Structure 1
């Protein structure tokens, strides 16, 4: 009997020891998680524009981030709390890029997707000449961050990689802006072969000119000829940009009928926020990508459907109002053009009106209207000049 009691007692101690041995790790994991959440909420509350995908398990910090300061803050908090860890977080840009952490879009419109595959959701687009930060490579895809800070994947054919020196040379070179809606770079002045198509806002390197043509180079070095009447020097174009009523309305109306494209931000297709973003881009400003981001900018103008308060360029937001069970959800945006009307992309770029007597009366959008914000002439760290964004 004594041997049996001793045996059972030994088993109890062993089992208790196993569980007590596991408990500290379990507690440490739980105590590390709130610290990770705190830092993420502070530095990367929006995963679309900042990468801080970090977890703690088995005494290790794992994951990836492009925010070294945030990672440093996290490790300092762990040290202060006495939580042991091995830091195996992948810090981006990836060293495997060998310094080629700059990229420039080299096709008329690059499709930038939520995952490194063509079947993935179209997250956004970037037009030729747009600089991007390159973070890592996966197969034939690159994880990039656009000037509006959006982080997604682009196929290798869409960008050309550069190290800092090469990018500085590109940045310093004289450039042209394509000012038409759709056009082409030709291999020769006889237009016998096309080098690339072009869309509004495309940026090219100026090599030379004659009476009718500019000789240009694309970011990847391909060269050809562009008709002078559909382009102008970048500095001249920038100086001509202004967020005047006429400019905003003209740009918007020039895109009438362009088809709706989820993730689109170009003349080839736009979603609702891609449309408002493109209007502002072509008039000198880069604004946030999505409607749920744009709604956080500027000054509140209206929530009561008082259209007399609105000015040309104001952004109207639509969606679902908050209830006890569900938060507010912004799902659509358009731009006010005056005369009780706004222009937006729903199915196609179109004009809608809140006037019941108008042929463009839009009862559907009126029913889900939430508020109007004014971003024109309102300072914001998230709204930058195109001249700065493209350098």
Structure 2
């Protein structure tokens, strides 16, 4: 009986100590640091999809990680000015463990880039062969990367070729080809008996040699093969043909008719709504943000009143939930205007919808959740330079 009583008192005392420790008020210094961290985060990294600023103040130390050295410097200056004593234990990305291999180039036709380092994680976005990425850190066989549109997510090691600065400069400076078909293949030999890789629109390959019928090409990881000449174009020639004309935008969009909806998709193999509009623009020379909620902040406001006469081919239409006193506006869908009271979008599959009640494509559902239209087309000299930097 005495033994059980002693045990009971011991457990009670332990619980009391735990509760006492958990109820200790936050120190004045800790409470003063949190607002400073929030200020810097709001200024430098308001969107966690495109920037990392995961920092906390614990036990007189700054802890966490960021890929924004300027933001970290700003925070430490604020703490110094506030007279806060601290130890800086923040991990600045890229991780030193990468040993200088902080560049990557996508080496498969379409790399699936996920929200967490596992194949079961949500598909965040995609990147096509030849796309350069910044490599931030490694977790097992996965790499945290940042794509040219600044999206940050995880890619399997098989999807990219790691490079140091020297190797990347060599790849970047080599002559390139752009695959201009929708779907195709690189073969081991000219007789096309065995495939090296599949290809999708916009894939970028290194030009090794050529003959009358084929290009000899190299992938970013060094694999080589042959590609039919009528399926590709030298990069320098291709980039000069990019134009955001009405014809080009409509043609590119309609070439993807019927492509299945894929959450996170940005390729001919599958697209979500914003991945579709992003791909249309990219294949014609302009880089736009990844998500509809990001795209809506681009360009010039054209309409909010369903005045379709104001719209031009290429304008982006945004749909969703209107703001109320209790909840903010929410952008959930986007499509591209193609004229004649119609727009093209990815919902279930790439399709054309109309706001004309007499049209067989009349879409009462999207009409009911229409919010606004934005014009995002840039002048040629601007967007050609932009895409050339991204792809080459």
TM-score range, shorter chain: over 0.9
Q: Distance in 2 between matches of 1:330 and 1:339?
A: 24
Give 1:85's aligned residue: 86
Give 1:377's aligned residue: 378
Q: Distance in 2 between matches of 1:378 and 1:48?
A: 27
Q: Distance in 2 between matches of 1:26 and 1:388?
A: 49
Equivalent position SS for 1:100: coil
Q: Would you say the 8 A contact 1:288–1:383 is kept in 2?
A: no
- Structure 1 residue runs without a partner (length 5+): 1-17
Q: Would you say the 8 A contact 1:183–1:197 is kept in 2?
A: yes
Q: Mapping of 1:187-198 within 5 angstroms?
A: 187-198=188-199
Q: Mapping of 1:271-282 within 5 angstroms?
A: 271-282=272-283
TM-score after normalising by structure 1: 0.93
Q: Would you say the 8 A contact 2:285–2:384 is kept in 1?
A: no
Q: Distance in 1 between matches of 2:32 and 2:344?
A: 50
1:157 aligns with 2:179: no
Output one character per residue of 1:122-179: Cα deviation in whole Å (capped at 9) or x when no partner. Answer: 0000000000000000000000000000000000000000000100000000000000
Q: Mapping of 1:1-391 within 5 angstroms?
A: 26-377=27-378, 385-391=386-392
Superposed displacement of residue 330, structure 1: 0.0
TM-score after normalising by structure 2: 0.92
Superposed displacement of residue 383, structure 1: 11
Equivalent position SS for 1:286: coil
Output one character per residue of 1:12-55: Cα deviation in whole Å (capped at 9) or x when no partner. Answer: xxxxxx99xx76x6111110000000000000000000110101
Output one character per residue of 1:293-312: Cα deviation in whole Å (capped at 9) or x when no partner. Answer: 00000000000000000000
Equivalent position SS for 2:158: helix
Count of equivalent residues = 371
Q: Distance in 2 between matches of 1:111 and 1:203?
A: 17
Q: Distance in 1 between matches of 2:390 and 2:234?
A: 17
- RMSD over aligned Cα atoms: 1.7
Equivalent position SS for 1:198: strand
Q: Distance in 1 between matches of 2:225 and 2:143?
A: 27
Give 2:6's aligned residue: none
- Structure 2 residue runs without a partner (length 5+): 1-19
Q: Distance in 1 between matches of 2:362 and 2:245?
A: 26
